[in-house]
Structure 1
Amino acid sequence: MVSTTGTANPELTVIVGSYVSGVIKELYCDYNTEVKIGQVCAKIDPRPYQTAVDQAKATLSVGKAQLLKDQAALAYAKISYERNSALVITNAVSLDAVDSAKSVYNQAEAQVSYDEATIEQRQAELDAAKVNLGYTDIASPVNGIVVSRNITIGQTVAASFQTPTLFLIASDLTKMQVDTNVSEGDIGNIKLDDPVQFSVDAFPNRLFEGRVTQIRQSPQTVQNVVTYDVVVGVDNKELALKPGMTASVRIITDQRNDVLRIPGQALRYRPESAMPFNSARSRVWLLRGSQPIPVEVEIGLADDDYVEVHGGDLNAGDQLIVGERSGETRSASYPRL
C-alpha cells in the first residue's frame, strides 16, 4: 500500500475567457449556475464593436460604388479603343490615338481589378468586425456548472496581452478525480486500475473509494525530491466532494485475503535479555502466561500499520509484545492478533 495526499478536482475544468476588450455590461451566471453549451454568461458592451461593423459596412458600400463607376469607365474605354482601331484602317485617326485609347482601356481594366480586390478586403474587414461583435457575448463552451466567477458588472476586461479568465466551469461534478503526488520510490508499485481509498476532513468518518486512472510520466522535482502525478477517478453522485478538498489517500498496490497479520511494531520489539538472533527469518515475541516466547515468522505484504506473516506458532487471538511501558521493564503492551 502507498500512502500519500491529494486534491479533489473535477475531471474536466474549462477556463472561459474573452477574446475582446471592453466593459462588462451584463452578467447572467454566478457561482453554482448550471449552464449549457452556447449559453451566454456575460456580455461586454457591444457599442464600440457595433460601430466598427457599421463603419466596415459603409466602407464596403463605398468600394462597391467605386467598382460600378470604374466598370462604366472600362466599358467606355473599350468602345473608344475598338472604334479607333477600326478608324485607323482608313487613316481617319492616327496610330498615336489608337495607342492612347489602348492605354486608357488597359488602365480601366486594372482599376476594375483593383476595385474588386478592394471589395474582397473590405468584406473580410466587415466579417472580422462581425466576429468581434459576436465575441462580446461570453458563452459557455460546455455543459456544466460555474465553480468560479472572476468578473463583476462594470469591470473592464483587457484582452490585449493575454486572455483574461472570466469563469471557471466544471463539466460534471458527479465525476471527480483526486490528483496525488507519489514518490519515485513508490511509483513502481502502482498500476492502472489499482483500488484506492481516501478520506477528507469534511467527512472524517467516511471512506471514499476510487481507482487509479492515470500514472503520468512527467516528473515533478521540488528541492531534489522527485514525485509523479497519479490520478484517481472517483464517482461523486452525491456531490459530497468539493473541488479543492484535501484527501488522505491510500493506494492498494496488492491485497491478501484470509491471512494472519500483526502490528509492524511487533517485529521491532526485542527484550533486553534476548540472545542475539541471526536467522534469516523475522522474530516476534508471544506472551504465554507471564513469559515472552520468541516465534520465528516469514513476513509478506506490509502497509503503514500491519504486516502479513506466515509460519510460526501463531494463531488469531494470541497476544504479541510490541513494546514496554515507560518506566517498567517487565510490563509490556500486548495487542491481540
Structure 2
Amino acid sequence: MKKQTLIIVIISMIALAALSWIINFKEKRNLVELLTEKPSFGSLSKTVTATGTLQPVDTVAIGAQVSGTIKNIFVDFNSVVKKGQLLAELDPVLFLAQEHQIEANLQQAKANFAYQAANYNRQQQLYNAGAISKAEIETATYQYRAAQDNVNSILSQLRAAQKSLSFTRIYSPIDGTVLTRNISVGQTVAASFNTPTLFSIANDLTHMQVRASVDEADIGMVQKGQRVKFTVDAYPDEIFYGTVEEIRLEPSVTANVVTYTTIIEADNANLKLKPGMTANIDIVTQEQDNVLLIPQIATQFVPGMSLSKQFMIRPLMPGAHQQRSANNKSGMKAGNHFSMISNQARVWVKKGDTLVQKQIITGLSNDVQEAVIKGLSPDDLVVTSINANKGPGKASTEERSPFIPTRSSRNGR
C-alpha cells in the first residue's frame, strides 16, 4: 500500500514538472522581441541627383585663315603645348611667289616714283622761270602724286601678302593639351567659306568642368556655391568633389522633360578625370552636422495588441498633447515656430518592460534617417520595429491597442 502511494506521488510530481515546463515554454514562445536603436550623433544631408559630362574649363579650336596643303605637323593627340609653339605648317610656295611678285612690282613703282619726282622738280623750276604753262606743271604734279600713291598701294599689298604667308604657320594661342587633331600631312585645307578646325586644345586639364542636366523639379533647390559629390564609371569606388559655379537660364527640352544646364567646377590635380566622362552627381542642397539621428521607420512604429501582454504601454497624455497643440497654435500666430510645428513626430522608447511614447521635433530627413532637434537623448532605446523571426510571428504594426491614440499624418505627427 505504501509502495503504491509512493508511485502515485512520483507520477504526480513528474506531471506537475512537465506541465510547468510546457507553460513556461509556451510563454517564452509568445514573447515578442522588439528591435531598438539608440540615437547617435552624425551628419545628414539632402541631395539632388543628376547626370553630366566632364569637359575642360576652356577649350580653344585652332583653325587656318588661308587655304593650302598641310606640309608639316609638329604635335599629336595629348601633346602638351605652350603659347606660341608651332603646331603645323601649310605649304608656303604659292604665298612666297605672290610675295616676290609684289616685291618686284614695288621696285618698279619706286623707280617710277623717283622719275616722276625728278620730272616734277624740273617742271617746277621751268614754271618758276616762265618757260612752261600752268597746265604742264599741273600734269607733272599729278603724275608725281600718282606715282607716290602707287608705291603706298603696293606696300599695302606686300604687307597683306606677308601676313598671308605668316598664316601658313599655325601657332598655339594658349598653354594646354591637344585634345583633337583633324588634319594629316598632304591634306588640303580650304578656308574660302569658313575656318576649318585643325586642332582643339584644352587650356588646363587640372581643373575640369561638369555640365550637369538638372530636372526642373529640383532646380529650385540648387544654388551657386553648393557642395557637389560625383562618381565616374572609370573609378566607381572613388568620390570626387566640386562646387556649383553657374546655373544657366536656357532650358533644354527632351521628350517633354525640361532640364537646366548646371556648371560644376572640379579639381583634377591627379588627372584622373578625362573629357567626355559621364558623371553621376549628388548636389548637396541641405546639410546638418553633429545632429542626433534616428531611423525614419521609428516614427512609423505603433505597438499592437500583442505587445500589451508583455509590456506596459504608456502613450502621450491627452492633456499634454492638448497643451502642446495650444502652444503650437500660439507659435503659429507669432510666426516663430512654423518649422517646428510642421516637423513633429512621435516615437516609442523602451524602458525595461515599459514602452513610453514621446513627441519629438525633427529636422532634416533623407528618407532613411531623420534628425532629432528636440525630445530624445543618446541614451534612449527607440523602438524601430518587431523582429519577425522571434515570437509568435503574427505581431504586426497594423494591430493596434484600443487605448493607443492613432498617429496623424507625416506633417502633423
CA contact (8 A) 1:286 1:321 kept: no
Q: How does 1:69-80 map to 2 (within 5 A)?
A: 69-80=115-126
Relative contact order higher in (CA < 8 Å, ≥ 6 apart): 2
Structure 2 residue corresponding to 1:233, chosen from 243, 247, 265? 265
Q: Residues 76, 280 of structure 1: CA spacing in aligned structure 2 closer, same or farther, 3 A cutoff?
A: closer
| Counterpart residue number, 1:2 | 48
Q: Which amino acid aligns with 2:247?
A: R
How far apart in 1 are the matches of 2:304 and 2:90?
Answer: 79
CA contact (8 A) 1:15 1:168 kept: yes
* 1:191 matched to 2:255: no
Give percent identity, aligned residues only.
36
Question: How far does residue 222 in structure 1 lie from its aligned partner after superposition?
Answer: 0.9
Q: Which amino acid aligns with 2:119?
A: A
> TM (normalized to structure 1)?
0.79
Structure 1 residue corresponding to 2:142, chosen from 110, 130, 148? 110
* 1:60 match: secondary structure: helix
How far apart in 1 are the matches of 2:347 and 2:394?
Answer: 15
Q: Which amino acid aligns with 2:170?
A: I
| Counterpart residue number, 2:288 | 256
| Counterpart residue number, 1:33 | 79
- Larger proportion of helix: 2
* 1:174 matched to 2:191: no
How far apart in 1 are the matches of 2:284 and 2:235?
Answer: 21
| Counterpart residue number, 1:320 | 384
Q: Which amino acid aligns with 2:181?
A: R
| Counterpart residue number, 2:250 | 219
> TM (normalized to structure 2)?
0.65
How far apart in 1 are the matches of 2:273 and 2:64?
Answer: 30
| Counterpart residue number, 1:276 | none
How far apart in 1 are the matches of 2:238 and 2:164?
Answer: 50
Greater C-alpha Rg: 2
How far apart in 2 are the matches of 1:304 and 1:281?
Answer: 14
Question: How far does residue 300 in structure 1 lie from its aligned partner after superposition?
Answer: 2.5
* 2:109 match: secondary structure: helix
Q: Which amino acid aligns with 1:162?
A: N
| Counterpart residue number, 1:120 | 152
Q: Which amino acid aligns with 1:128?
A: A
CA contact (8 A) 2:304 2:396 kept: no
Q: Residues 114, 19 of structure 1: CA spacing in aligned structure 2 closer, same or farther, 3 A cutoff?
A: same
Q: Deviations over 1:169-213 (max 9, x none)?
A: 11211111212122344333333322111110000000011222x
| Counterpart residue number, 2:365 | 302
Q: Deviations over 1:17-60 (max 9, x none)?
A: 11111111101100111111111111111111111111111121
Question: How far does residue 307 in structure 1 lie from its aligned partner after superposition?
Answer: 4.1
Q: Residues 138, 271 of structure 1: CA spacing in aligned structure 2 closer, same or farther, 3 A cutoff?
A: farther
How far apart in 2 are the matches of 1:267 and 1:129?
Answer: 82
Q: Which amino acid aligns with 1:8?
A: L
* 1:192 match: secondary structure: coil
Q: Residues 220, 208 of structure 1: CA spacing in aligned structure 2 closer, same or farther, 3 A cutoff?
A: same
Using the TM superposition, name which of 25-34 and 215-224 deviates more: 215-224
Root-mean-square deviation (CA), in Å? 3.4
* 1:208 matched to 2:272: no
Q: Residues 79, 192 of structure 1: CA spacing in aligned structure 2 closer, same or farther, 3 A cutoff?
A: same
How far apart in 2 are the matches of 1:56 and 1:258?
Answer: 79
Q: Residues 200, 63 of structure 1: CA spacing in aligned structure 2 closer, same or farther, 3 A cutoff?
A: same
Question: How far does residue 8 in structure 1 lie from its aligned partner after superposition?
Answer: 1.3
| Counterpart residue number, 2:174 | 142
Q: Residues 163, 272 of structure 1: CA spacing in aligned structure 2 closer, same or farther, 3 A cutoff?
A: farther
Question: How far does residue 138 in structure 1 lie from its aligned partner after superposition?
Answer: 0.8
